Amino acid sequence: MEKTIALKSRDEAQALLGVNDQHLRRIREAAGVTIVARDGQLRIRGERRSVDRAYRVVAGLLASLREGQEVSASRVTAMLGASAEGADREGRTAPKRPEVPLLRAAEPKTPGQARYTEAMREHDIVFAVGPAGTGKTFLAVAQALENLRSGRVRRLVLVRPAIEAGERLGFLPGDVQAKVNPYLRPMYDALNSLLEFGQLRRLLEAEVVEICPLAYMRGRTLDDAFIILDEAQNTSGEQMKMFLTRMGLRSKIVVTGDVTQIDLPSGRSSGLVEVKGFLRDIRGIAFCYLGKEDIVRHPLVQAIVEAYESFERRGRR
């Protein structure tokens, strides 16, 4: 079998394939295919499943490159890892339902949270918008674990954009994974608060639970998964479209965010703000709006939110 990918220029080819074709060699060896760059095209040859896997990786890397993102060795590794799950799904028997011992159950504490929980049970895609402390992420994680325990899904994929409030990733020490881990910490906190001690590590090692930055989602199709995108106000329109179209068969998506805390560069619109205008009438998609009355953190949090709302209203006059 053979598939081809067209390249726009020599510079694009060099950026995609890496110095001395190091990315090309890495993909070729991992997927077990032949890849030839010639006449402005990449030709991928081999067995069907191997070619499909290599094609997904290269196409995903090329799309990222054309959006201005660097094709690094760590990104190639991440894309190869993501593509492997798609290749392994074919012909694989369904795994035994994973054991997920819970430390405690999570119950909605306000009418708004109850409506949000019901929406997640009734719809395949749910957008939850509200201020900090309203339980958007916590209740989504709890619902995801409920779906996993019941066998409704086989895995959880928890995603956040690596957007910083006032700092730059490049100034942090370590490799790419070490740099993004601080931005994924709230996901770990929510899981650890619900699971028995040591269970999260076991589920991560078994790849039943995956926590990853949004940039690593490109090129994937996630079947039988409960997928949560947290801090979605910090996605661009293009990123939101990319994320939503990762949804595979028998999957659910929950998107959470606070549109008052957008950290995108000036001039870039939020994908979460955009979708409210044209996805709300699609059957199977629900929008839930939580307010200060749904805040369940320290009582001072609600007072702080109210004070900021008052201050911002005065500033717009």
pLDDT tens digits for range 165-215: 444 445 555 555 565 667 677 788 888 888 888 888 888 888 889 888 888
The SS3 assignment for 222 reads strand
Does residue 119 register a pLDDT over 60?
Answer: yes
Please name every residue paired with 37 in a beta bridge, in sequence order, or none if there are none.
42
Are 46 and 54 within 8 A, CB to CB?
yes
The one-character DSSP state at 102 is B
For the chain, what is the mean pLDDT?
A: 83
Q: List helix spans (H) across the chain.
A: 10-17, 22-31, 48-66, 73-89, 111-122, 136-150, 176-194, 199-205, 237-244, 271-275, 299-316
pLDDT computed for residue 97 by the predictor: 59
**Mean pLDDT over residues 105-109, rounded?**
83
Task: Give the whole-angstrom CA distance, residue 43 versus residue 7.
Answer: 11
Six-digit token string for 142: 């709890």
Residue 209 CA neighbour count, 13 Å, CB half: 24
Q: Where does residue 59 rank: exposed (0-12), middle (13-18), buried (19+ CB within 10 A)?
A: middle
Are 256 and 143 within 8 A, CB to CB?
no
- Taking the domains of the chain in order of start, what are their residue ranges? 2-89, 111-316
Per-residue pLDDT tens digits for 9-49: 888 888 888 888 888 888 888 888 888 888 888 889 988 88
**Mean pLDDT over residues 250-277, rounded?**
91
Topology given in CATH for the domain delimited by 2-89: Ribosomal Protein S8; Chain: A, domain 1 (3.30.1370)
Closest listed residue to residue 213, CA positions, set 182, 172, 244: 182
Tell me which residue has tokens 């881990």.
181
Burial 190-217 (b: 16+ CB within 10 A, else e): bbeebbeeebbebbeeeebbbbbbbbbb
Are 210 and 84 within 8 A, CB to CB?
no
Does residue 144 register a pLDDT over 80?
Answer: yes
Does residue 92 register a pLDDT over 50?
Answer: no
Highest mean pLDDT among 65-79, 91-105, 200-214, 269-283: 269-283
Task: Give the whole-angstrom CA distance, residue 88 versus residue 81.
Answer: 11
**How large a percentage of the chain has pLDDT more than 70?**
87
CATH superfamily, domain at 111-316: P-loop containing nucleotide triphosphate hydrolases (3.40.50.300)
Task: Give the whole-angstrom CA distance, residue 243 versus residue 235.
Answer: 10
Are 122 and 152 within 8 A, CB to CB?
no
pTM above 0.85, yes or no: no
pLDDT computed for residue 122 by the predictor: 93
pLDDT computed for residue 96 by the predictor: 54
Burial 154-175 (b: 16+ CB within 10 A, else e): bbbbbbbbbbeeeeeeeeeeee
Does residue 129 register a pLDDT over 90?
Answer: yes
